[in-house]
Structure 1
């Protein structure tokens, strides 16, 4: 039977290429043997459910345990009605256990306990009557909230001392967040902010992204099955673009082998990987779309906005920073500070944020194209200045990240310029004080740097020229744009203060400085 790269739901070993769950989670078997309760949290689409299903099957097949993954998601609609949530959850569990376990290992018929005790009663009855020690992975725990969440956690904690004869030997809560960040509307907070309802956990750990070697192994499964080769350079590029994010790793390969080139005789090269990347970014499939939805949250905005503009984080809470780390939106860089988790997210985020501005753009005729369809950078500059003076300030209001509204308006304009025939690449980082943009259109490459001049800040020209020199050097360019957004208070209107000047950078490059 042919196998495929999977981008929708848990992987199935008979039809999908997939990696070993125990190799990705080497500590779990020891934790289970020690009768521990623990938490596994990771962003969506990292493979938590796939790993737990596979691990449960492996543990059960070993003959040592009865292991099963059960979901709590159906209880989510009953956040303040624990008794109704318990009934829905247990009904779901009965079906799942019958499907995933052989008859002799399935839970016995049980009498429903009192409201608020039904989950604990079920797990207790099953553990006492089970032929083997019971191991349970509770998926989607953070779908629950408020009274229902606390009730479930407390029932598990209450039964914990009776393990392994009277309660599961080992139990894991599986979700996006650690316990303290589960949703609970109380005391002015939307999170528990404590582990106390589940203070029996011995560990909380994250299911990591794929390593480079993991990506090689996964892609090599396709080579073994079809003969189609991923060149070493293609694998390296796929890992660089995704940083091993499992959904992205699978999505790039799936796009190539199922749509871009179905002929297994054609080797998969970096060019094909780049084609797939661009398609995914433009299409914004489910995973990238759900990522974009997060950008509307205030605590996400508080951190993403300064990252995009290159400013310091300022007064952000540890909870907010941990939230973005848990979502997989950002990672801690080796150099210190937070950065966007991978180059694909780095492209998706500004595209998403500038979409509202793009939708608000007036009709712009592509006057910057020569007769042969090539890009004329000088005409592009003039077209941008006309656009900026006329439409810049009104469009700032359509930007949902107000502190970087000029960045988003400029990027929206540039997206209209490339319009599927070129590409935009961006570099930005906390504390760098800038955003770098590379526009590629045919044979023309245009490098530019965006800086902000805020109140009580020095003139950014001198620093910007030095930074732009470094960026242009990496692009092997002798010219570029330095765009300075003057956000100081008390200035004339944008149409009156937008000017340009030609300067020579410290490295001798010809730079066009745009003041706007």
Structure 2
């Protein structure tokens, strides 16, 4: 029986596998046209699996050699050439189950082309050289020599039989591409994208057909939404559901997914997620702005900080701005970088405070009444909480999130930050007794931004089929707290203006 593959290249014989016909067609077209090209994608997006598939599709007509520079690091010339030949021979044995392809180790870097020319004439097959983890080769002098050799062969590729060279990396190989001595300055570049929604459903359907175990439609949607199509995460979520949370059950339900999501957010150490957090730490200030001040940081790949986070799969481009496109990444980063204010719960809800006064007879929650209690808390703690803090530090949104969660979770409700709503994301979504409440959070905005925020909230509410929503605006210019209601297109907007400009803590009572 096949399984959801959570690590390493996917073996089609033992793992569920998603075809990428358009991407494959593009790659094969490059090879047929003697193109040298680069392939990039963050880790666990399936690029190695994709390249293995290229090997399978070309091995009869051509001679594909697929090696990795992962362990090459700072090798000197002798070690480099020795390891290169051993890796080429291993690749040949794996693909064709035959022994040594190259008998002699090249005498120097330039001698590589002589060995490849001899190989072409001996096997009578044009060569496709595929090098994974190319960026791991840190010996700049040797790398330049190696690329010069490839360039020499590129200009006489029919003589050497070097049909195509494919360099694969986690990030865009800008240094290689910018080098005028490199054949890759005229190369094509391909990115391995995340799964589409259709591909995610195809992956899950394969399991259903083979085992008879069914994913509820809502669970499929939740897997697609939370992993954002990221192949590694998609498989990891599905694997956890099948093997742990719903093992031996006929139907994988939403209750199972909630347990899986909790474990990924709170318990599991997932190497893919940990890598994203590690990369985000190095650009903490920027990632805080992207997390807590969306639609503010324009996406510009010429900014080295943005390029670094993008190439490592942390951020992406959303309508011209930087964003964290994978919701599960966002939630983990949100939890990791949130302000350390957990002690505030003792002020948010005292021993006298319960959820009971805020629950209506029909079981719905009175958000406006709860906001009044929130303002009481802010009046007491605002000077301590907000003085000298920036919105992008997350203090406002997380403070409201923590307050609402403290009350809502007391009656088994949930508060979800940054939840997708019909193609957009609402800052906070409350779900209680299967009733949803949408809350958009802004800070220190202009009049134009205020109008835009209301329109945005109305659009989200329309998509959800809701008739009211809440806009919480933190401001350091208003004199006092204020509550406003507006109605448009049959939808009511509750606007709460929260004062953040207080006396310093030393003067506050």
Please give the range of the TM-score, normalised by the shorter of the 2 chains.
0.7 to 0.9
Tell me the SS of whatever aligns to 1:69: strand
The farther-off stretch of 436-445 and 383-392 is 383-392
- Change in Cα spacing, 1:4 to 1:483, as seen in structure 2 (3 Å) is same
Query: Paired residue for 2:52?
Result: 53
- C-alpha RMSD of the superposition: 4.2
Q: State whether residues 422 and 440 of structure 1, in contact with CA within 8 Å, keep that contact through their aligned partners in structure 2.
A: yes
What are the within-5 Å matches in structure 2 for residues 339-488 of structure 1?
339-354=323-338, 357-358=339-340, 361-362=342-343, 364-365=345-346, 367=350, 369-370=354-355, 378=369, 382=373, 386=377, 389-390=380-381, 404-411=394-401, 422-426=414-418, 436-440=427-431, 446-453=437-444, 457-458=446-447, 468=457, 471=460, 482-487=471-476
User: What's the counterpart of residue 275 of structure 2?
Assistant: 290
Residues 52-87 of structure 1 show CA distances to partners (whole Å, capped at 9, x for unaligned) of 123213422x3x2222320011122x1xx5426615
Q: Which residue of 1 aligns with 2:215?
A: 230
What corresponds to 1:25 in structure 2? 24
Distance in 2 between residues matched to 1:414 and 1:125, nearest whole Å: 71
Q: Shift of residue 316 of structure 1?
A: 4.7
**Secondary structure of the residue that 2:481 maps to in structure 1?**
strand
1:180-219 matched pairs, under 5 angstroms: 180=174, 193-194=178-179, 196-199=181-184, 201-219=186-204
Q: TM-score, normalised by structure 1?
A: 0.76
Asked if structure 2 preserves the Cα contact closer than 8 Å seen for 1:39 and 1:172, the reply is yes
1:135-146 alignment to 2 at 5 Å? 135-145=128-138
The number of aligned residues is 480
CA deviation vs aligned residue, 1:210-239 (integer Å, no higher than 9, x gap) = 233322332222123212233555445533
Please say which of residues 134-143 and 166-175 is displaced more in the overlay: 166-175
* Unmatched tracts of structure 1, length 5 or more: 183-191, 492-496
Q: Which residue of 2 aligns with 1:174?
A: 168
Per-residue deviation at 1:172? 0.4
1:102-150 superposed Cα distances (whole Å, 9 cap, x missing partner):
3546422213423x54765664554454453222210011223461543
Number of the residue aligned with 1:189: none
Matches within 5 A, 1:22-171: 24-60=23-59, 62=60, 64-76=61-73, 78=74, 82-83=76-77, 86-87=80-81, 89-90=83-84, 93=87, 96-97=90-91, 99-102=93-96, 104=98, 106-114=100-108, 116-117=109-110, 123-124=116-117, 126-145=119-138, 147=140, 148-164=142-158, 166=160, 168-171=162-165
CA 1:228 to 1:392, structure 2 compared with 1: closer, same or farther past 3 Å?
farther
Contact (CA 8 Å) 1:21, 1:55: kept in 2 or not? no
C-alpha distance in structure 1 between counterparts of 2:281 and 2:389, whole Å: 14
Residue ranges of structure 2 left out of the alignment (5+ in a row): 360-364, 501-509
Instruction: Please give the per-residue CA displacement for 1:249-302, whole angstroms capped at 9, x wherever unaligned.
Output: 212211221112112522x4566556544543444622122122222343x854
- Corresponding residue of 1:501: 482
Contact map agreement 1:395 1:409 (CA 8 A) in 2: no
CA 306–215 in structure 1, closer or farther in 2 if over 3 Å, else same: closer
Counterpart for residue 309 of structure 1: 293
Change (3 A) 1:280 1:418: farther
